């Protein structure tokens, strides 16, 4: 029975990522928490991942409030630079 609850670190990080978006099932969350008992590296990865998500969400929210656009002159300069690039 316990073999079914055991995860590899790759599976744990995948579940961690799913959990952040609310896509992990209850069983996957249970397996992940059991994995954390034995693997402190995955636990740390999850904490860091959650911290980065919070920072990103805060930054994204403040960015939505700002509106920045290129001026007509800046657009023309950019167009000329793009045309000069030879692929």
Q: What is the domain partition of the chain in residue ranges?
A: 2-84
CA angle 43, 48, 50 (to 5 degrees): 95
- pLDDT at position 3 is 75
Handedness of CA 47, 51, 54, 60 (dihedral sign): negative
Number of H helices, E strands in the chain: 5, 0
- pLDDT at position 1 is 56
| Per-block mean pLDDT, blocks of 10 residues, the chain (87 long) | 82 92 92 94 92 83 72 89 77
- pLDDT at position 59 is 75
- pLDDT at position 69 is 77
């Amino acid at each position: 029975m316990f073999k079914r609850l055991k995860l590899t670190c790759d599976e744990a990080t995948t579940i961690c990522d799913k959990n952040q978006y609310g896509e992990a099932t209850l069983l996957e969350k249970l397996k992940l928490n059991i994995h954390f008992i034995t693997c402190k590296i995955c636990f740390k990865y999850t904490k860091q991942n959650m911290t980065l998500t919070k920072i990103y969400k805060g930054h994204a929210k403040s960015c939505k409030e700002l509106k920045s656009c290129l001026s007509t002159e800046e657009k023309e300069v950019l167009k000329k630079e793009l045309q000069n690039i030879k692929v």
